[in-house]
């Protein structure tokens, strides 16, 4: 019976080898020459050599250059009588990219070497994924323009930068929806790219409806470039057969010779604020000698200082759904300011002011304390492993005693630090990876979970992910909205390789959810699961939210 099993194994061995993705070549050694004896299916796909070529030499089946290259490698193995490993990434004489190869001589009992076996790993798909990741790292996914990371890393000291955004763009999103808003941004990008790429200027989408043109040509007056930008928006946009009249406001910063990109961006932002204050649809060139008074920001500063005392701050929660466990496992705490006159304001309307004025410290402490107190109710409803996520800004991490205050709050509120997720954005650490890495390691050592929010929006390099102590990647909603499966597969594969948990944000449709489940994305967050809710709404609506799994027809 044992001999029969062994015979069956030998009979099936060629079919088994054909299922292996690595290329296998068995070469017969005849008087110092190498003849093809066997190749599996993967080797045939890569080289074109088939088992019908058995008995033929390198020279008979390859170009002279390729034959010489192969003969040299195999002769070295034959002479050294030991396996040799060859690294991947080399362009072969036949133009193909080499994979990692292990070439092994088969030494008989009498010392003869009649056969040499080569096993080569095809890295074509891996290289495609790497190129795909490099492409998205420097380009905006929605518009195809360069992104902020490209600007910071590859545009060093331009002569002038023109920073601008679309006037009242928020109204388009609110009135017609994000699909129309995205179409407007794409059309704006096409117009800008057609005008300025030909002139050698870098056109960048910084995020949202904010764009930038960086010019290195001192012979082109900055006001002329500004006028060109304004003129691009004179013709109405035709979006889904709907004509739209748009305009832009522009802030211009001219380099005196020493300013780098961050300094120019700051100056251009001040100039943009002035252009908006003067009525929009115009440009303003930053003048260092002029004092710019930000009245609105100062007003927000005064009101924010007493917002906590007036009980105007609120926390809303957006659930995080685990696709493997088919249940809600956490929620992100989202800060809202219930302004006495202006109504409910989102963080984007006041957090920048809080960061600039130092108010982010007490506001951040309030958020953590409120979220910790709410966690007890959430745990009773959703289970003991429930986690609450809070957003941490760069300014908070810079504050002296931040870690000590954090620990004091969770201890006072009797919350295990392992149930708190600290979310940071890519912009937090871009300029100082080492110091932030040490701080995050300290926080992880205390038990907190660290999540990288808005991953893919243009800051982080892949190498940073190996340097920073991160537990979770939150894929930015733009990748989910446009659903690019190869890119999402690449991000998920990379995350698995780095042992990182993944949460996809902005999941708003059934098809998006189904595709993410099929890709084995473990976490999802977005309107399809639930909109942000007040604590009472979240606790009362658990049955409807938990029922998400039952109303989603996923085939298994």
**In this model, does residue 279 exceed pLDDT 70?**
yes
31 with 180, same domain: the answer is no
What pLDDT score does 544 carry?
A: 60
Residue 133 placed within a domain: no
181 with 281, same domain: the answer is yes
Taking residues 233-237, what's their average pLDDT?
A: 93
381 with 418, same domain: the answer is yes
> Of 163 and 304, which is predicted with more confidence?
163
- How far apart CA 440 and CA 138 sit, in angstroms, is 26
- How far apart CA 332 and CA 300 sit, in angstroms, is 25
Across the chain, mean pLDDT equals: 86
What is the pLDDT confidence band of residue 553, given thresholds at 50, 70 and 90? Answer: very low
Judged by DSSP in three states, 492 sits in: helix
The most confident of 131-135, 414-418, 451-455, by mean pLDDT: 414-418
Residue 18 placed within a domain: yes
Residue 551 placed within a domain: no
- Residue 12 belongs to domain with CATH number: 3.30.450.20
Residue 134 placed within a domain: no
338 with 478, same domain: the answer is yes
56 with 89, same domain: the answer is yes
- Residue 335 belongs to domain with CATH number: 3.20.20.450
What pLDDT score does 550 carry?
A: 44
What pLDDT score does 298 carry?
A: 54
- How far apart CA 344 and CA 336 sit, in angstroms, is 6
64 with 163, same domain: the answer is no
Range with lowest mean pLDDT among 256-260, 263-267, 405-409? 256-260
What is the pLDDT confidence band of residue 147, given thresholds at 50, 70 and 90? Answer: very high
What is the pLDDT confidence band of residue 316, given thresholds at 50, 70 and 90? Answer: very high
**In this model, does residue 448 exceed pLDDT 80?**
yes
What pLDDT score does 74 carry?
A: 93
Taking residues 502-520, what's their average pLDDT?
A: 94
Backbone φ and ψ for 495, nearest 5 degrees, come out as -65, -40
What pLDDT score does 124 carry?
A: 63
Residue 132 placed within a domain: no
What pLDDT score does 515 carry?
A: 94
- How far apart CA 192 and CA 225 sit, in angstroms, is 11
Report the domain count for the chain. Answer: 3
What is the pLDDT confidence band of residue 192, given thresholds at 50, 70 and 90? Answer: very high
Judged by DSSP in three states, 28 sits in: strand
387 with 513, same domain: the answer is yes
385 with 473, same domain: the answer is yes
Taking residues 118-146, what's their average pLDDT?
A: 76
Range with lowest mean pLDDT among 72-86, 162-176, 271-285, 347-361? 347-361
Domain coverage including residue 414: 312-546
What pLDDT score does 183 carry?
A: 93
152 with 209, same domain: the answer is yes
- Residue 197 belongs to domain with CATH number: 3.30.70.270
**In this model, does residue 155 exceed pLDDT 80?**
yes
Residue 301 placed within a domain: no
404 with 467, same domain: the answer is yes
Residue 194 placed within a domain: yes
243, 183 Cβ separation under 8 angstroms: no
178 with 223, same domain: the answer is yes
Residue 300 placed within a domain: no
What pLDDT score does 309 carry?
A: 83
430 with 537, same domain: the answer is yes
């Amino acid at each position: 019976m044992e001999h029969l099993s062994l015979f069956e194994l030998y009979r099936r061995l060629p079919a088994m080898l054909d299922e292996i993705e690595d290329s296998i070549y068995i070469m017969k050694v005849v008087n110092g020459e190498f003849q093809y004896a066997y190749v599996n299916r993967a080797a045939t796909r890569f080289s074109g050599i088939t088992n019908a070529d058995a008995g033929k030499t390198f020279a008979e089946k390859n170009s002279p250059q390729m034959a010489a290259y192969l003969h040299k490698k195999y002769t070295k193995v034959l002479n050294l009588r030991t396996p040799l490993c060859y690294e991947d990434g080399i362009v072969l004489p036949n133009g193909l990219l080499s994979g990692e190869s292990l070439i092994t001589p088969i030494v008989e009992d009498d010392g003869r070497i009649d056969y040499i076996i080569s096993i080569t790993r095809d890295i074509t798909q891996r290289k495609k994924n790497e190129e795909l990741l490099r492409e998205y790292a420097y380009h905006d996914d929605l518009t195809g323009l360069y992104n902020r990371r490209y600007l910071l890393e590859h545009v060093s000291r331009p002569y002038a930068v023109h920073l601008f955004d679309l006037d009242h763009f928020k109204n388009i999103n609110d009135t017609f929806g994000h699909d129309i808003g995205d179409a407007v941004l794409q059309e704006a990008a096409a117009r800008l790219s057609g005008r300025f790429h030909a002139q050698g200027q870098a056109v960048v989408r910084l995020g949202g409806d904010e764009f930038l043109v960086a010019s290195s040509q001192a012979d082109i007056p900055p006001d002329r470039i500004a006028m060109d930008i304004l003129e691009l928006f004179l013709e109405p946009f035709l979006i889904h057969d709907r004509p739209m009249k748009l305009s832009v406001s522009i802030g211009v910063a001219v380099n005196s010779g020493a300013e780098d990109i961050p300094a120019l961006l700051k100056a251009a932002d001040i100039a943009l604020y002035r252009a908006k204050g003067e009525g929009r649809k115009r440009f303003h060139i930053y003048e260092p000698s002029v004092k710019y008074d930000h009245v609105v920001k100062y007003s927000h500063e005064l009101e924010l200082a007493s917002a906590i005392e007036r009980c105007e701050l609120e926390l809303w929660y957006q659930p995080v759904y685990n696709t493997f466990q088919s249940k809600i496992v956490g929620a992100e705490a989202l800060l809202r300011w219930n302004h006495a006159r202006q109504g409910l304001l989102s963080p984007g309307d006041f957090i920048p002011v809080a960061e600039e004025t130092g108010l982010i410290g007490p506001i951040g402490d309030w958020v953590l304390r409120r979220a910790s107190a709410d966690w007890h109710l959430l745990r009773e409803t959703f289970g003991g492993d429930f986690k609450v996520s809070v957003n941490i800004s760069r300014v908070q991490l810079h504050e002296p005693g931040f870690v000590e205050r954090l620990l004091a709050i969770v201890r006072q509120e009797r919350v295990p630090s392992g149930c708190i997720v600290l979310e940071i954005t890519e912009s937090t650490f871009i300029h100082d990876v080492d110091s932030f890495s040490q701080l995050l390691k300290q926080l992880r050592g205390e038990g907190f979970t660290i999540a990288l929010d808005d991953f893919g929006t243009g800051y982080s390099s892949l190498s940073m992910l190996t340097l920073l102590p991160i537990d979770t990647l939150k894929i930015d909603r733009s990748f989910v909205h446009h659903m690019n499966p190869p890119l999402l597969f690449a991000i998920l594969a990379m995350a698995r390789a780095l042992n990182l948990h993944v949460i996809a944000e902005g999941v708003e449709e059934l098809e998006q959810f189904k595709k993410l489940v099929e890709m084995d994305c473990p976490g999802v967050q977005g309107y399809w699961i639930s909109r942000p809710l007040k604590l009472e709404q979240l606790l009362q609506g658990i049955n409807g939210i938990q029922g998400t799994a039952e109303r989603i027809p996923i085939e298994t």
